[in-house]
Structure 1
């Protein structure tokens, strides 16, 4: 039985999991290096501890007596969650699996050895090594940090010259490990799943619409995908194979998969964590009418698998594709068919950076629609975007 959970991090993305745990009658002990972290106001016990300091977090968790680590979005420091689980003998992601999730080089080696389809990859530790790596991999290729999550620092280069230009531009930072990968071709899918009590449960397969190269930021999620059921099966099979190869246990899973024109699925990335807040707080509830964090906490507490929530409904989530520049005016919110929710975060006078990362996308806002099927939900999203009047002065 779970009575008290540990929140590793108490920032904005941890707020929903903390609130959900409290709503389920659980006590929350939270750590974050920021003494002003917003999650501290919700926690029963909190302490300003850097989540990178595994020993300090373990000591705190042992002192206050936690029964589980709270499932929440977390990137590189999933390793701290795993260290706590191992030290206190808790169910959840364990150190070897967390290390592979945090280090894309290690994950690639494990997955390749297990026969999971992945892109060819070369690791570099210095911008001067980029030309040789690009020459070996060829173009098109992807250049990205070895650590981190989301779209931070990911560049899709159509030509060798584009890739080589990243080193002098400072995109490949001195002192940071980077990867040069062959660019997988096809349609990209986001996957949210779970593995509890050794049972894999596929939850969401989201077709992605991405920004044009060289950036790789999601603009739109479409659920269910506009593809044959065989595509969804292939995607989930690759994610399950990757999760088992890495050794993920008793955790949520967030992954990205590419499917080529022949229907072959290849893994891009995988981590044993909850998805980011838009998926957890908006998309999943809109589709299933239930809460993902609550389901994960129930599975942890009962020691059984995470039950699939059911059929759900078609949902499209779209960021506002507003161009870079100064916001001159923002019109009234549209009232178009199928619109479930909309949030415009831009205000007159704001200066918008080019839409390259999740931070850039969130600064603009988003909308969510439904329909009789995915095609209708997408048409409704496009109609709502067209009806939204935002004037931008290019600067």
Structure 2
């Protein structure tokens, strides 16, 4: 393998492009933005809208690309799959790519295959919300059919909260939205791979979430503190991956495990996990690079080896409350702190932490310990020692 394609050249693709270049591969990149940062790293660049599958396929065919770079972004998966199918490449294929991009389609496939999922109703505008909620019940989750990163997700505990969402303009007329019964239990992020037909579990991250009505991760805990729940989550993801038909790709999924140990699939996508997981968490736990391993699997056609459990690591976003930042103290020197990045500056005005974008704007830290509990305790010590003065507005 000598030439690979980056479908998209935005910030999420920078790490895969760098990894491919470091491996001696030639990178061709497409993005509709002529100023996309990945163009400066790629060997060959072309400003093409990645939604234009025919144009991307023609570009890839002319160059003779031999693989599409795995990247931690899901909205281009249908184009990635189209390129793989058109050029006969290993990787996610069109039917699976379509299911990963459309939560309603995925729900139907998983339900038919017997994979546990939440009750769901589709709506096309706020006037349909009340009937959908009556069908699935409360508490419920209102979310867009297409999208990721917790954008647009609202958790409603009561009918009054549903009415408030309907009246708020949160749902625009003519937009495709879903109403799902809110699953109860502990949420897990599962990162895995399926190459040469072999499913390999990589990480099962126990999550600590923001309070309702938002559903954004605040903390990842590895390894998960309840092993049988982690095993159930991993089994649910393998069942979902095979039902959707994922092939030769990395997998990122969310699972809820209830008090009885029953795992239900929330979402699944045939892509690399988010940038923090790919660039920071996975290397901190396993000591190597996930994109490198995926590229090797694409080249050789062999399964991704199981990396083992790795070391305990807790990744925590800074749970800074909304308001104006007045001051930011020095970096704490606390036990087990592996890394920290504070992105706040005096004068910044913070909204309520609702989405991944809000979390990244604040910053994050990673801590380790002899086990998950100690790593979590060390992360809390570091957060407590970090002095950030906020003026409430």
**TM bracket (short chain):** over 0.9
Aligned residues: 393
Q: Which residue of 2 aligns with 1:92?
A: 91
Give the Å deviation of 1:369: 0.2
Aligned to 1:181: 180
Q: CA deviation at 1:275?
A: 0.6
CA distance in 1, matches of 2:307, 2:20: 19
Shift of 1:42: 0.5
Q: CA offset at residue 65 of structure 1?
A: 1.2
Partner of 1:271: 269
The alpha-carbon deviation at position 309 of structure 1 amounts to 1.6
- 3-state SS of paired residue (1:165): helix
Contact 1:9–1:51 (8 Å) recurs in 2 = yes
- Whether the aligned pair in 1 keeps the contact of 2:223 and 2:309 (CA below 8 Å) is no
5+ unaligned residues in a row in structure 2: which ranges? none
Counterpart of 1:57?
56
Contact 1:254 1:271 in 2 (8 A): yes
Is 1:199 matched with 2:198?
Answer: yes
Separation (CA, whole Å) in 1 of partners of 2:159 and 2:255: 24
Aligned match of 1:327: 325
Could you say which residue in structure 1 is the equivalent of 2:387?
389
Q: How does 1:1-395 map to 2 (within 5 A)?
A: 2-227=1-226, 229-395=227-393
Q: CA deviation at 1:203?
A: 0.2
SS at match of 2:79: helix
Separation (CA, whole Å) in 1 of partners of 2:281 and 2:156: 31
CA contact (8 A) 1:134 1:164 kept: no
What is the Cα deviation at residue 211 of structure 1?
A: 0.2
* C-alpha distance in 2 between matches for 1:53 and 1:176: 22
TM superposition shift of 1:170: 1.0
How far, CA to CA, are the matches of 1:263 and 1:211 in structure 2? Answer: 22
Aligned partners of 2:263, 2:244: CA distance in 1, in Å?
18
Greater shift after overlay, 245-254 or 154-163? 154-163
Give how far 1:59 is off.
Answer: 0.9
TM-score by length of 1: 0.99
Give the Cα separation in 2 of the matches to 1:318 and 1:175.
Answer: 37
* TM-score computed with the length of structure 2 as normaliser: 0.99
1:324 and 1:390 map into 2 onto residues whose CA distance is 12
Deviation, structure 1 residue 76: 2.3
The Cα of 1:168 is off from its aligned counterpart by: 1.7
Where structure 1 has 5 or more consecutive residues not aligned to the other structure, the ranges are none
Tell me the CA shift for residue 223 of structure 1.
Answer: 0.3
Deviations 1:91-116 (A, max 9, x none): 10000000000000000000000000
Tell me the CA shift for residue 342 of structure 1.
0.2
